[in-house]
């Protein structure tokens, strides 16, 4: 609408809306494909490197403790920079940061593949984590600006989660094949062509602004530095706690430093005129509940690491067989998470879906707690399926809840915050369940595994209680379609 057409323009409006809506929908699907390709880099890279880690250790003749930093440093920088990158996207433009993140990830993958030493490989992996934080934090913000709240956004988030879940499982298999056929460096080089294609498509199809920017054009540097340092220390503390115990000096020291740094961050945000994370934003009931619930639900996933150890140490599975044991769960994530979650949210609303999700997760972990060795794989299959059913519909719902009701210019902040909660939840849950297990069984045998799942079930039950008290607005099943005014898929002139 140009505003100069009078009644004649109004009469012609229905004819103009159809083609415009078709172009917007087409661009929306292309943007979703680009987002999936970029997020695929993060998910597949993590799983393939896990499989290739023993080969890397042998080539560099490195101790296990040192070689673990190849994966550990990636998780540290990714979790630490998520919130900053989300807000930076709001301030400087989501598309600009998204594309820069893809390019940086591609170049750091190339340097990792060419790494002459373990130290240079770890440095490249740290840069990969920062780049992944850029693409991950801005990806959900771009989707939120492209798809309006309701049916379209629910489906887009469901498809994203399902494909990434399948990609995680496929990455484990692909990592084994690539490492065996071409060596571990090939798992780094495979990111280069994917990143190049994603960069070209993102430049072509994502709106120049990538959504509406925040009102403030200045990034809160003191807040960014303190929250990044605090989160990195927190993840490091939980990672150490998973191996040395939560109540050891090795874990307590970085945990205490993290608490002090994050407390300083809150003071800075309270006094700042242009805060990185306005405290009023976090105090919104829907935002706070969604992030706390996301932290709890993702914590329950830490128990599944214990399950892989159980399969190999107690049931005698090979690493490949242990990976294949999770294929039913991966299939559930692909089909139920991709299509069932959006259907449930459209029909039942957000709160009911969160309650159903946490109920299934709790029941699944409780069913895993007995670990009947005599039943073999059949003894863990029902619990694994129940957990996967709950988690597959829960993670898309939590992502939508974290972004629900955001104002223009807040999409990146909301995206970075909800994903930080999810990233923190996993090491937190793993350290908690292993602490429970080692308390009752210092040798971490079968008894310890059982207590670990019991502890995870209790943690998930707390999440169920939070979901029952959730009072956010249900996600609407139908909303007005995205228009150029909303900064969504935009009109043709909004694309480069």
Residue 82 and residue 80: Cα distance in Å, rounded? 6
First to last CA, the chain: 21
Residue 61 and residue 56: Cα distance in Å, rounded? 8
- The residues near 391 (Cβ < 8 Å, ≥ 6 apart) are 297, 300, 301, 333, 357, 360, 361
261, 230 in Cβ contact below 8 A?
yes
Most confident of 82-86, 95-99, 372-376: 95-99
Q: What is the band of 484 on the pLDDT scale with cuts at 50, 70, 90?
A: very low
140, 412 in Cβ contact below 8 A?
no
- pLDDT per residue as tens digits for the range 330-346: 788 877 876 777 788 77
74, 209 in Cβ contact below 8 A?
no
- Fold classified for 281-470: Growth Hormone; Chain: A; (1.20.1250)
- pLDDT per residue as tens digits for the range 97-149: 999 999 999 999 999 999 999 999 999 999 999 999 999 888 888 887 788 77
Residue 103 and residue 198: Cα distance in Å, rounded? 9
The Cα angle at residue 300 between residues 294 and 301, in degrees rounded to 5: 95
- pLDDT per residue as tens digits for the range 218-242: 777 888 889 889 888 888 888 787 6
- Position 312 pLDDT exceeds 90: no
pTM higher than 0.85: no
**Ranges for all domains in the chain classified under CATH 1.20.1250.20:** 24-219, 281-470
Q: What is the band of 493 on the pLDDT scale with cuts at 50, 70, 90?
A: very low
Task: Tell me, letter by letter, the H, E, C secondary structure of the chain.
Answer: CCCCCHHHHHHHHHHHHHHHHHHHHHHHHHHHHHHHHHHHHHHHHHHHHHHHHHHHHHHHCCCHHHHCHHHHHHHHHHHHHHHHHHHHHHHHCHHHHHHHHHHHHHHHHHHHHCCCCHHHHHHHHHHHHHHHHHHHHHHHHHHHHHCCCCHHHHHHHHHHHHHHHHHHHHHHHHHHHHHHHHCCCHHHHCHHHHHHHHHHHHHHHCCCCCCCCCCCCCCCHHHHHHHHHHHHHHHHHHHHHHHHCCCCHHHHHHHHHHHHHHHHHHHHHHHCCCCCCCHHHHHCHHHHHHHHHHHHHHHHCCHHHHHHHHHHHCCCCCHHHHHHCCHHHHHHHHHHHHHHHHHHHHHHCHHHHHHHHHHHHHHHHHHHCCCCHHHHHHHCHHHHHHHHHHHHHHHHHHHHHHHCCCCCCCHHHHHHHHHHHHHHHHHHHHHHHHHHHHHHCCCCCHHHHHHHHHHHHHHHHHHHHHHHCCCCCCCCCCCCCCCHHHCCCCCHHHCC
Task: Write out the two tokens for 343.
Answer: 């259907």
460, 369 in Cβ contact below 8 A?
no
Architecture of the structural domain at 24-219: Up-down Bundle (1.20)
Q: Tell me what the mean pLDDT of segment 200-214 comes to.
A: 69
Residue 67 and residue 61: Cα distance in Å, rounded? 9
Which of the two residues, 258 and 429, has the higher pLDDT score? 258
- pLDDT per residue as tens digits for the range 416-468: 888 888 888 877 887 788 888 877 887 778 888 888 899 889 989 999 998 98
Task: Write out the two tokens for 266.
Answer: 């809150």
Residue 64 and residue 52: Cα distance in Å, rounded? 13
- Position 4 pLDDT exceeds 60: no
């Amino acid at each position: 609408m140009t505003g100069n057409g009078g009644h004649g323009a109004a009469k012609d409006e229905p004819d103009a809306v159809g083609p415009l809506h078709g172009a917007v929908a087409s661009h929306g699907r292309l943007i979703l494909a680009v987002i999936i390709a970029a997020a695929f880099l993060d998910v597949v890279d993590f799983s393939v490197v896990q499989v290739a880690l023993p080969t890397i250790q042998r080539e560099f003749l490195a101790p296990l403790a040192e070689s673990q930093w190849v994966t550990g440093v990636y998780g540290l920088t990714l979790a630490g920079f998520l919130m900053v990158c989300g807000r930076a996207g709001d301030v400087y433009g989501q598309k600009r940061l998204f594309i820069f993140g893809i390019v940086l990830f591609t170049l750091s993958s190339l340097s990792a593949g060419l790494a002459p030493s373990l130290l240079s490989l770890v440095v490249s992996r740290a840069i990969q984590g920062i780049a992944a934080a850029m693409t991950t934090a801005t990806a959900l913000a771009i989707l939120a600006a492209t798809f309006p709240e309701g049916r379209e956004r629910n489906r887009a988030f469901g498809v994203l989660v399902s494909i990434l879940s399948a990609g995680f499982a496929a990455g484990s298999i692909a990592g084994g094949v690539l490492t065996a056929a071409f060596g571990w460096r090939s798992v780094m080089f495979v990111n280069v062509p994917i990143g190049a294609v994603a960069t070209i498509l993102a430049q072509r199809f994502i709106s120049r602004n990538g959504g509406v920017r925040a009102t403030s054009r200045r990034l809160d540097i003191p807040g960014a530095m303190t929250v990044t340092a605090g989160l990195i220390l927190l993840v490091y503390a939980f990672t150490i706690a998973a191996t040395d115990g939560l109540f050891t000096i090795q874990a307590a020291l970085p945990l205490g430093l993290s608490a002090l740094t994050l407390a300083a961050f809150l003071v800075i945000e309270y006094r700042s005129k242009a805060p990185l994370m306005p405290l009023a934003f976090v105090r919104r009931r829907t935002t706070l509940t969604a992030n706390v619930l996301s932290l709890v639900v993702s914590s329950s996933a830490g128990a599944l690491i214990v399950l892989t150890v159980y399969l190999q140490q107690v049931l005698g599975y090979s690493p490949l067989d242990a990976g294949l044991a999770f294929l039913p769960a991966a299939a559930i994530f692909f089909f139920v998470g991709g299509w069932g979650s959006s259907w449930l949210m459209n029909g039942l609303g957000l709160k009911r879906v969160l309650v159903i999700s946490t109920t299934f997760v709790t029941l699944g972990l409780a069913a895993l707690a007995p670990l009947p060795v005599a039943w073999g794989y059949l003894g863990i299959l029902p619990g694994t399926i129940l957990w996967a059913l709950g988690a597959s519909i829960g993670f898309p719902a939590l992502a939508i809840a974290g972004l629900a009701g955001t104002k223009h210019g807040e999409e990146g902040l909301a995206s970075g915050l909800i994903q930080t909660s999810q990233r923190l939840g996993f090491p937190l849950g793993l350290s908690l369940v292993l602490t429970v297990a080692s308390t009752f069984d210092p040798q971490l045998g079968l008894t310890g595994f059982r207590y670990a799942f019991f502890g995870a079930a209790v943690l998930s039950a707390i999440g169920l209680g939070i979901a029952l008290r959730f009072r956010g607005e249900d996600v609407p099943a139908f909303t007005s379609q995205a228009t150029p005014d909303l900064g969504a898929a935009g009109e043709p002139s909004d694309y480069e």
